[in-house]
Amino acid sequence: MNFTILFWIVFGIYCTGWLTCSLAFFSNDRYAASWGERLLFLGLAVQLVSIGVGYIISGEFLFESLSGLFLFLSFFTVLIFAVLDLKFPNQIFKIIFPPVAIFFLILSITISDQAIIARQFLDKSPVFGNFMLISHASCAMLGYLLFGVACLTSMFYLYQENKIKRKTLLLQNVKVPSLGFLDKLNYKVITVGFLFLSVGLLLGINMKIIATNGQMEISLRQGLPVATWLIYALFLIDRFINGLRGKITALWAIIGFVTAVTSFAYEVFLLVQKS
């Protein structure tokens, strides 16, 4: 099977669906929006099939290489969009998430196939090792992606708040979600993302301990994910104790995601350096 053709089919479907949704959002065309969403869901299904077929044929799991990781991120980005779109229809998600997925999709075909985990860990216990690797990568990446959702929501919150203060929010913008809705969505997304990141970090620490026979090392590579976890932990504690709301919540979410992106970018940089 020619996976290059499948890649460009998925790429074309995502691009067409995103452009259709974007035009529909700004023109308030519900018919076009419906077709755009269907195209994105179709691309998600085709990508899932291609990932499954690729694993069956090659026997290589996505998380064993950097390019596979980006392919997973592309898939999960659209999956998160699909869940949010079903729960909160007619929101701005349809013009934000698809380009992020397309970006990861392009990286998956241009980035190196550099392995992302030491083989000695998988050699110790192939079955259990693969299970831990899948769980660790899935939870950590899902946490980061949800933090990305919170960051985009926060940016839209600040933009809308500024429009309201300047009294430039037109009445025709009826599709724009309220500030209260955005604040609650932000809190829920960060909470779920924090839980996934916590599980991912714990599994990652255990994997490192097993791979190094208990000889843990402290470095920036391990410190940045922990710093990300701490930022969101403090946010949730402050929210619970002091009822943190509004603009400060949005700014905190953006700062946390910048730290998360720095952590992820540094990890990718180290992996590319090894190739």
What's the pLDDT tens digit per position in 200-216? 888 877 777 766 665 66
Identify the weakest region by mean pLDDT among 94-103, 183-192, 207-216, 252-261: 207-216
Q: How many CA atoms within 13 Å lie on the side-chain side of 80?
A: 26
* pLDDT of amino acid 42: 92
Tally helices (H) and strands (E) across the chain.
9, 0
- Between the alpha carbon of residue 139 and those of residues 56, 129, 134, 205, 249, the distances in Å are 23, 15, 8, 13, 24
What is the distance between the alpha carbons of residues 232 and 216, in angstroms, rounded to a whole number?
A: 24
The SS3 call for residue 189 is helix
pLDDT averaged over the chain? 76
What is the distance between the alpha carbons of residues 145 and 221, in angstroms, rounded to a whole number?
A: 19
- pLDDT single digits (tens) 93-122: 787 788 888 888 887 777 656 555 555 555
Highest mean pLDDT among 121-135, 214-228, 247-261: 247-261
- pLDDT single digits (tens) 40-96: 999 999 888 887 777 667 666 555 667 777 888 888 888 888 887 877 766 677 877
What is the distance between the alpha carbons of residues 151 and 197, in angstroms, rounded to a whole number?
A: 16
Which residue, among 111, 131, 112, 114, has the nearest Cα to 207 in the 3D structure? 131
State the first-to-last Cα distance of the chain, in angstroms, to the nearest integer: 27
* pLDDT of amino acid 195: 92
* pLDDT of amino acid 173: 47
- Between the alpha carbon of residue 120 and those of residues 59, 115, 116, 170, 208, the distances in Å are 19, 12, 12, 60, 10
141, 76 in Cβ contact below 8 A?
A: yes
Sign of the CA dihedral running 111, 196, 155, 88: positive
What is the distance between the alpha carbons of residues 108 and 62, in angstroms, rounded to a whole number?
A: 10
* 151 vs 111 pLDDT, higher one: 151
* 147 vs 28 pLDDT, higher one: 147
